[in-house]
Amino acid sequence: MNRTNVTQSPRIRIHDEVTHALREQRPVVALESSFLAHGLPQPHNLETARAMLSAIEVEGAVPAMVAIIDGEIRVGIDDSILRHLGGTPTIAKASARDLGILCALRKDGATTVAGTLVAAARAGIGLMATGGIGGVHLGAETTYDVSADLGALASCPIAVVCSGAKSILDLGKTLEMLETEGVPLVGYQTDRLPGFHIRVTEHALEHRVDTIAQAADVIAVHRAIGGGGMVLCNPCPEDAALPEDKLKTWTAQAHRRARAEGIAGKQLTPFLLRVIGELSGGRTLEANKALLVTNAALAARIASAGAR
């Protein structure tokens, strides 16, 4: 991305370390903060967040976790804010549409993938890491429940390293919508779409890269010709991944509970993941932690190879 105009504004504060890295053309990786406030339970949330930051730094890049604090979008946060986000149950969930409102009302917010993409694009960051993107929910033909992540990916020229789309979604419809939005998916050492906790699903990917250099080159060329966002799919580590048949059973049970309790909208994804975690005896939690850290490290390696 063009970083010659990286500036602070009254509503966005870019951490000094991130600002210096961007101006010096050094690698930076953006991170969402919703997993910290609304995804993982304590103390796993803070432990995982710190492990992600460390993994990025070890690979020679600068981490830039995004959040809203007292009406100000922060791109890069310190440990005190990390603790605040991970220990305050009333933190708002900040998608792209919420950023301006939360800022105007001087509230706090933990950014989703969509919210992070908008803030990272404004800061001039070209690479982001997360667990899995949102997408088209099951039954969306009647509920119209489609994640804002898809629209943000289409409009923000940022490559997102993740373990595919969350397995609770309608993956086929999610792929169709990404194609419609012009967002390419590229498998990293895989020909099939990962399903978050599942290493591979039945859905084939058209494009694949096998090395860090290939990944960096694909991202750089896609951006150079004016492409929007891109999804780089990195399967969940094999020793932490879950069997697809069991996960489908747990997911179906979780959806039944959600319908019975009237859970929808922003609350649906964290509710489903929490229930599936309970049904799996904590195995999904361990998989989630592992893929978050692995994706952060991979994103940092790609950024260090030149995809910035």
Catalytic residues, by residue number, are 32, 166
Characterize 8-42 residue by residue with b for buried, 16 or more Cβ atoms within 10 angstroms of its Cβ, and e for exposed: eeeebbbbeebbebbeeebbbbbbbbbbbbbbbee
Q: Measure Cα distances from 81 to 37, 76, 223, 239, 259 in Å.
A: 11, 10, 32, 32, 35
Strand 62-69 to 28-31 pairing? parallel
The tokens for 103 are 């800022």
145 touches 99 (CB < 8 A)? no
Q: Would you give the distance in Å from CA 88 to the centre of its chain?
A: 21
Q: Would you give the distance in Å from CA 157 to the centre of its chain?
A: 15
Q: Cis link prior to 43 (omega < 30° from 0)? A: yes
Strand 159-162 to 230-233 pairing? parallel
CA angle 240, 195, 89 (to 5 degrees): 75
User: Residue with structure tokens 């890269």?
Assistant: 209
Amino acid at 227: G
CA angle 287, 93, 80 (to 5 degrees): 80
Contacts of 46 (CB under 8 A, 6+ apart): 36, 82, 83, 86, 87
